[in-house]
Every structure is written in structure tokens, then in C-alpha cells.
Amino acid sequence: MFEKYPFEKLNELLKDIPHPDEVISLTIGEPQFETPKFIQDELCKNAKYLNKYPKTAGEEVLKKAQRDFVKRRYNIELEKDELLPSFGTRELLFNFPLFLKPKKTAFPNPFYQIYEGAAIATNSKINYMPLKKENNFLNTPSQLDGDEDFVILNSPNNPTASVMDIDLLCEWVEEALKKDFVILSDECYSEIYFDKKPPSILEASIRVGNKNFKNVLTINSISKRSSAPGLRSGFIAGDSKILKKYLNFRTYVGCASPLPLQYAAAKAWMDDEHVETFREKYKRNFEIAKEILGIEVPKATFYIWLEVDDDIEFTKEAYKRGVKVMPGRFMGREGEGVGYIRIALVYNEEKTKQALKIIKELL
């Protein structure tokens, strides 16, 4: 049975609560900055290709742009059969497990709810690996039960903003090879960082000598890095033997990206300058948060995982004053997330200051 989505639970929680006409919503990880004009122009220029069916495997211009991104970012030269473009990454996180049919899945807790939805859809047993203050909100192989055949990792992490270092990722790769399970590493926030670049599971795989990425896959997306979630452009990369079979599966799913979107996405993947501009905006938002809330700036993401006395009551009170936040318990199971709220710093400086001052008053 599928759980209600966190946003549905939130709407039910707040439906009868009086609130100002204008509410600043800090609940969803959707960048509120305009998509760069050069990306929009490329989309318009290629609208003529709406009369053509897109290939499931994607256009070479997009696949090359994505492989080139991996080369620039991680100094890894992927073979052509080691990457598949996708219609965003949400669809990957749901239909890749449908393809894999795992008997037991492990993933972080709290988590992005698609992880659980896919496990339920495949009748997979679940190991909810807790992310706690005591373990620095990091998952380690010691949290496995030993009988998992599929593990989802998420670094940089949503919602806690924690980042795994390369040594920990290496431990995970070695464990996957030793126990013969598949790792899917969700790295969609890899480009929203403020100092050191977060490492990839692909780098860890090479470091431990697993150069063909056996049992190792990563996913990434353009949504956060380019402020372009509507382009629905992502990819999955790694083990070519798995990806070959998965491509065959995808031909039946019908989730190929329209050609105009692919061409626009290719332009975005090719360029890094605009990404730096967005990083500076998010960095400034965190500097504001540090000034107002006294928090430490995280290594990556645009989230604050803020400890509060009661996440439900805090959420209600914030809404009364015109700010919408996400109660941590709505993103976790087995008690994880209770006593935290997730705040998405996705607005401009003015709105960010306005919202955080209200939150400060409630703390």
C-alpha cells in the first residue's frame, strides 16, 4: 500500500489553519530562479522537432553532452554503453527497481519517497537505514542486514544535506562487490556545493579497482544545477551489462524525452558557467541563514535540516505566520525525522530573509 506523499500529508495538516494571503513555501526542492535564457532559446529553436518521436536511447547530442559533463566533473571517460539519458530522475528511481525486481531494498531514512514507492511496487522487503545526528546523518555498510540485493544511496542527501566522503563511498562499493548487490547512488544535488566538490560513486568504483563499474550505478539531473526541473533531463550511468538490459526494458516504458527538450538539455549539460551563478545564489542564502538562525552552512544542497521541539506544531505555527515548511516525520519512517523540519532555500535573498526571520521568531 502506497503511503500518502509528504506534500499531501502537509496539505491535510494545514487545511484548516488560518494564514496570511501570501505564504512563502519552503517545502519543495524546486528552484525558483529563472531558467537561463540560452537554454530557453535552444528549446524554442528546436520546437519544430515536435513532429518526431524521440528514441528511447536518446539523441547522441544529449548523451555526449552528459558524458562530457561526467568527464569535466569527475575526470571519468564513460563508454557509450555506460550512460543512458532519462526523462528526469524520478522516473528512473521508480522504474529501475521495477526492472531489477529486488527481493530486499535498503535506502536512507528519512528519504525521497520514490525510494519507498518503488520498493512497495516490486514487493521488495525494506531496510530503512536511519540517518541520525549520532551517525552524522550518514549511511554505512554496517547498517545492512546482509540479505539486501539492492541499495539506494543519496549523497548529497535530501533532506539532511549530509555528504559522503570518497572513503565511505569506497566502502560501499567494496561491500557491493563482496555481497553481490546493486548500488544506485542518487547524486542529483552534486552540483549545489559551496566548497569541496562532493565525490561520486563512480570515482569510488574506480578507486577500488572496479573500473567497469560492476554492480555500481549513479543518477544525476539537470533540475537543480540549471534551475530547469521542467526540462526533465537526467541520466543513469555505470555498469554497462545492467544498462544494456535496462535499455531494453525502457523501450516498453514509453518515457523518452521529447526532442526539443533533449536539445535544450544538451546545451545546459555542456555549460558550467551558469551553474556557478546558481551556486553563488544558494551560498548567499545559507549565509543569510547563518546570520539569522545561527546554523552552520552545509557542504551541499539547498536544504536546512533544522532541529525543533515538535516538527508538527512548529509547522502549524509557521504557517499561521506565512511560512510553509516540511515536518521531518513526513519524510521518514520508524520515528526518523521526528523533531526536525526541512527548509528549502530556493528563493531570492529578500524572500529568504523574510521567511527565515519568521522561523527565528518561532525557535
Q: Residues 13-47: pLDDT tens digits?
A: 999 999 999 999 999 888 899 999 999 999 999 99
Q: Residues 101-142: pLDDT tens digits?
A: 999 999 999 999 999 999 999 999 999 999 999 999 999 999
Identify the pLDDT of residue 254. Answer: 86
C-alpha cell at 120: 512497495
C-alpha cell at 211: 573500473
Q: Which helix (H) or strand (E) holds 176?
A: helix 166-179
- Find, among 157, 153, 111, the residue nearest to 328 by Cα: 111
- Find, among 319, 343, 320, the residue nearest to 331 by Cα: 343
Pick 6-35+274-362's CATH classification: 3.40.50.2300, 3.90.1150.10, 3.40.50.880, 3.20.20.70: 3.90.1150.10
Q: Residues 326-359: pLDDT tens digits?
A: 999 999 999 999 999 999 999 999 999 999 999 9
Identify the pLDDT of residue 29. Answer: 87
CB 123, CB 168: distance < 8 Å:
no
Please say if the pLDDT value at position 3 is more than 90.
no
CB 259, CB 233: distance < 8 Å:
no
Residue 254 CB neighbours (<10 A):
8
Distance between CA atoms of residues 237 and 269, nearest Å: 15
Taking CA atoms, 239 is separated from 44, 100, 247, in Å, by 35, 13, 12
Domain with CATH 3.40.640.10 in the chain: 53-269
Stretch 174-202: mean pLDDT = 97
- What single-letter DSSP state applies at residue 144? -
The chain-wide mean pLDDT, for the chain, equals 96
Q: Residues 223-232: pLDDT tens digits?
A: 999 999 999 9
Q: Residues 137-181: pLDDT tens digits?
A: 999 999 999 999 999 999 999 999 999 999 999 999 999 999 999
pLDDT range class, residue 2, cuts 50, 70, 90: confident
Sequence letter at residue 144: L
C-alpha cell at 241: 551489462
Q: Residues 291-305: pLDDT tens digits?
A: 999 999 999 999 999
CATH of domain 53-269: 3.40.640.10
Domain with CATH 3.90.1150.10 in the chain: 6-35+274-362
Q: Which residues pair with 360 in a beta bridge?
A: none
